[in-house]
Copies of this chain bind each other. A is one copy, B any other.
Amino acid sequence: MRYFDDFVPDETIQLGQVRVSEAEIVEFARRYDPQYFHVDAERASASIYGGLIASGWHTAALCMRLLVDGVFADSAAMGSPGLDELRWLGPVRPDDVLVGRMTVLEARPSRSKPDRGIVRFRAELDQRGETVLRFVALGMFGRRP
């Protein structure tokens, strides 16, 4: 069980990996981001992307799943107030395998609520050695009792 007190600045935590299928890309995008380059392979092939790509929100959600499985599920996580510097650095295509990484940037106890602290961290997804997604988020975590 990981508490606020267990996050050490500069620590990098390797997360798992996930393969994303064309069916999942289309299913997510039909529901939440039905732009043609996410849902229509034929029209997408004539776009600047040259083929179907995942919605950036889908890519971010896949990163969150790796964060939850690797860190948050077995922790005192209490949600997040937000994030910054989210960058979609490269397209994610059907059958890509995404590898996750979390780097702790800062850990500061809450001033107003002594039972918790805020962890600022960078999350990244790599595909064949190139980073395709990066963001810097805040996470609230309970302190070790």
Contacts and interface: CB of A to CB of B under 8 A. Distances in A.
Interface of A: 28, 31-35, 37, 47-49, 53, 55-57, 60-62, 64-65, 68, 72-73, 77-88
B86 A82 contact: yes
Contact of A68 (B35, B48, B49, B60): B35
Nearest to A56: B80
Nearest to A47: B78
A79 B56 CA distance: 9
Contacts of A61: 28, 31-33, 57, 61
Interface residues of A, dominant DSSP: mixed
Given A32-B62, A57-B57, 9 more contacts: A32-B64, A33-B68, A35-B68, A35-B77, A49-B79, A57-B64, A80-B88, A82-B85, A84-B85
Contacts of A53: 79
Nearest to A77: B35
A3 B98 CA distance: 33
